Amino acid sequence: MNALPQTDYLRLADAMLSRVEAAADAADIDSKREGAVLTLELDNDEKIIINLQAPLQELWLASKSGAYHFRYDAGQWLDTRSGSRFEDLVQQAVRQQGGPLLALV
């Protein structure tokens, strides 16, 4: 994998966090962003945390279903172990933790 220029990584990662925030707002999920960390808090007090790891050029997702690391490749954020898309695993985590459908379009 070729490393992105840091400015591209930051732009792409920030855009993904913004997409998740917008989807959370549309699904009536509380979200709080502090710098490079976005926390989704579901109505049942379950939390999902997404954060940037700039030195590694990754997005990290922490949920009850596990911890995932994503790198940008071929136009999308892919899990470094399974190759699953970031959007799919975030949606799955929200559903597994009792949240509503998170429409990441």
**What is the tens place of the pLDDT at every residue in 29-42?**
999 999 999 999 99
- Report the mean per-residue pLDDT for the chain: 95
Q: Residue 85 belongs to a domain with what CATH number?
A: 3.30.920.10
The answer as to whether 104 is a domain residue is no
98 by DSSP, 3-state: which?
Answer: coil
Q: Provide the domain limits for residue 13.
A: 6-96
* Total tally of structural domains belonging to the chain: 1
CA dist 43 → 27, 28, 47, 72 (Å): 11, 9, 9, 31
The answer as to whether 79 is a domain residue is yes
The answer as to whether 73 is a domain residue is yes
- Token reading at 20: 């998740």
The answer as to whether 51 is a domain residue is yes
| Cβ atoms within 10 Å of 6's Cβ, excluding its own | 11
Task: Write down the pLDDT at residue 80.
Answer: 97
Global pTM reads: 0.92
